[in-house]
Amino acid sequence: MIAAGEQETGAPKLTPEQSRDVDAKLANIIRKYGERLTEQQRKHLRKILAYNETMLVPIRAYALQNGDPPVTVLKLSSGKSKE
């Protein structure tokens, strides 16, 4: 198990809060699937989680308002569309 806050070589640099989030996610993965994962895979997963966290930064920082919808919206089905 990687120690909390430990950064992997080559992994992106995280803030303390990001690092805590990554640790929590890794702990959850190990809780569910730990018996399947080698030590090397756990280290690799932490690196992946760290990278995912950095990708989320500009997304989370994007200013959105209540009325801004996602691109994925409900398409109505009239029952005829499957013909």
Of 16-75, which residues contact other proteins (CB under 8 A)? 25, 28-29, 32-33, 36-37, 41, 44-45, 47-52, 55-56, 58-60, 62, 64, 68-72, 75
Residues 31-67 as b or e (16 or more Cβ within 10 Å = b):
eeeeeeeeeeeebebbbebbeebeeeeeeeeeeeeee
Q: Which residues bind other proteins (CB under 8 A)?
A: 10-12, 25, 28-29, 32-33, 36-37, 41, 44-45, 47-52, 55-56, 58-60, 62, 64, 68-72, 75, 81-83
